[in-house]
Amino acid sequence: MIIGSISENKELEKRISITPEIAKKYISSGFEVLIEKGLGEHLGIKDNDFLKENCKIEDKKTVLDKSDIILQLNLLDDEILGLLKDNKVLIGNFNSNINREKFIKINKKKISIFSLELLPRITRAQSMDILSSQANLAGYKAVVDSFAFFKKAIPMMMTAAGTISAAKVLVVGAGVAGLQAIATAKRMGAIVFATDVRLASKEQVESLGGKFLIVEGAENLETEGGYAKEASEDFKKKQEELVKETLKKIDIVICTALIPGKKAPKIINEEMIEGMKPGSIIYDLAASQGGNTAFTKVDEVVDKNGVIILGETNILNKLPTSASNLYAKNLFNFVINLYDKKNNKININMDDEIISKTLVK
């Protein structure tokens, strides 16, 4: 059985789905690995690095024709999808809520599509969880980039000339990205605050040295799958007031609040930003889904009365090697769960929650 991968549009996506290390694992598990020429060149991974692991290198069309399983990050464009033959398996992170019409066309060709952002949050799926592995890196990088824009020192410094106060950081949303942002900011000497609609986050935030901001009379807004759900209007008003007062003393804000399948909630409005100190930084990790602030613009640096607001389409393009390593491992674990080695075939077992939840119908 052949596993293949072709290059993404490198202007939009610098990560890759198969690394030499993971190719070796596929081959030792009984697969052949076929990749497009130059797949990892932009990351310093030479074709020869893949050849050393007994991979085969071909042109794009040959990879698509010969591969039984095709691993990607983003959904292939219409022209390339048109080249796919029947009975292929396509695995990646395909934004199932946005690409529904494309999936209908693909399914007519008897192509099985697995979109891993749909993975259930169960213990057995943790090693395949692309959202967590990538969000972890995004939370780290958002802090590093924010600190690079900030014009002051981050940790408290006591010198003969006087004391420099530690920077105050607020993390909005304490999921995987938010928790890594808290840990990173804390390690670099900042005083860290965090807020989240899920009360279960309080213990996690405090274990990392952050102070959890609680809305008075808060209810726990968490789905059974562990994601945040939409808040009531009363909760939103209370949260708004708490955030507004907190932001007046904050230097750096990291926004990570997302609701799966919906636009990002607007948490920081115009009035709140007007109350912030000039020189403050906001990094909005939700930018590509509408943003958590009123002024976020994707891939633009916005200066609102001295408050700098940052947000990118894909922050992981700044850490493509690390992100690729983790993503490739996630895919490998998913493929092994899908593969019937004894009979050398893909086993789409709909009784397996991991398979049934990620198969796009």
Residue 204 catalytic? no
pLDDT range class, residue 282, cuts 50, 70, 90: very high
Quote the tokens at residue 196: 């989240």
Q: Tell me the three state secondary structure of residue 328.
A: helix
Q: What is the pLDDT of residue 338?
A: 95
Of residues 227, 289, 322, 352, which has the active-site annotation?
227
Q: What is the pLDDT of residue 35?
A: 98
For residue range 215-237, list pLDDT tens digits in order.
765 555 555 555 555 666 777 78
Q: How far apart are the first and last CA of the chain?
A: 24
Position 38 pLDDT exceeds 70? yes
> If you compute the radius of gyration of the chain from its CA atoms, what whole number of angstroms results?
22
Identify the burial level of 207 via C-beta atoms within 10 angstroms of its C-beta, where 0-12 means exposed, 13-18 middle and 19 or more buried.
exposed
Task: Establish whether domains 2-118+320-360 and 135-317 are of one fold.
Answer: yes
**What does the domain layout of the chain look like in residue ranges?**
2-118+320-360, 135-317
Q: What is the pLDDT of residue 20?
A: 98
Of residues 126, 165, 207, 232, which has the active-site annotation?
126
Position 285 pLDDT exceeds 90? yes
For residue range 172-188, list pLDDT tens digits in order.
999 999 999 999 999 99
For residues 57-80, average pLDDT? 94
Q: The domain 2-118+320-360 is classified under which CATH number: 3.30.70.120, 1.20.1070.10, 3.40.50.720, 3.40.50.11540?
A: 3.40.50.720
For residues 103-132, average pLDDT? 90
Q: What is the pLDDT of residue 110?
A: 84
Of residues 68, 121, 127, 352, which has the active-site annotation?
121
Q: What is the pLDDT of residue 222?
A: 57
**CA dist., res. 184 & res. 192, Å (int):** 10
**CA dist., res. 348 & res. 339, Å (int):** 9
Position 51 pLDDT exceeds 90? yes
Position 356 pLDDT exceeds 70? yes
pLDDT range class, residue 92, cuts 50, 70, 90: very high
For residues 311-339, average pLDDT? 97
pLDDT range class, residue 42, cuts 50, 70, 90: very high
Residue 129 catalytic? yes
CA atoms 173, 175, 181, 187: torsion sign: positive
CA atoms 194, 195, 201, 206: torsion sign: positive
Report whether 185 contacts 192 (CB < 8 A). Answer: yes
Of residues 96, 132, 146, 239, which has the active-site annotation?
132
pLDDT range class, residue 330, cuts 50, 70, 90: very high
How many other β-carbons are positioned within 10 Å of the β-carbon of residue 344? 11
Which stretches within 150-262 are classed as H helix?
Answer: 176-187, 201-207, 233-247
How many other β-carbons are positioned within 10 Å of the β-carbon of residue 83? 11
Q: What is the pLDDT of residue 238?
A: 80
Question: Average pLDDT over the chain, rounded to whole?
Answer: 92
**CA dist., res. 92 & res. 95, Å (int):** 9
Q: What is the pLDDT of residue 150?
A: 97
What share of the chain has pLDDT > 70, as a percent?
95
Q: Which of 215, 213, 309, 298 is nearest to 254 (CA)?
A: 309
Report whether 23 contacts 84 (CB < 8 A). Answer: no
Of residues 67, 72, 129, 324, which has the active-site annotation?
129
CATH homologous superfamily of 135-317 equals NAD(P)-binding Rossmann-like Domain (3.40.50.720)
Residue 126 catalytic? yes
Q: What is the pLDDT of residue 68?
A: 96
Q: What is the pLDDT of residue 148?
A: 96
- C-alpha distance from residue 351 to each of 110, 348, 355, 357 (Å): 20, 9, 8, 10
Position 287 pLDDT exceeds 60? yes
Q: What is the pLDDT of residue 223?
A: 59
Q: What is the pLDDT of residue 237?
A: 81
Position 111 pLDDT exceeds 80? yes
Q: What is the pLDDT of residue 218?
A: 57
pLDDT range class, residue 66, cuts 50, 70, 90: very high
How many other β-carbons are positioned within 10 Å of the β-carbon of residue 58? 17
Residue 132 catalytic? yes
Report whether 309 contacts 296 (CB < 8 A). Answer: yes
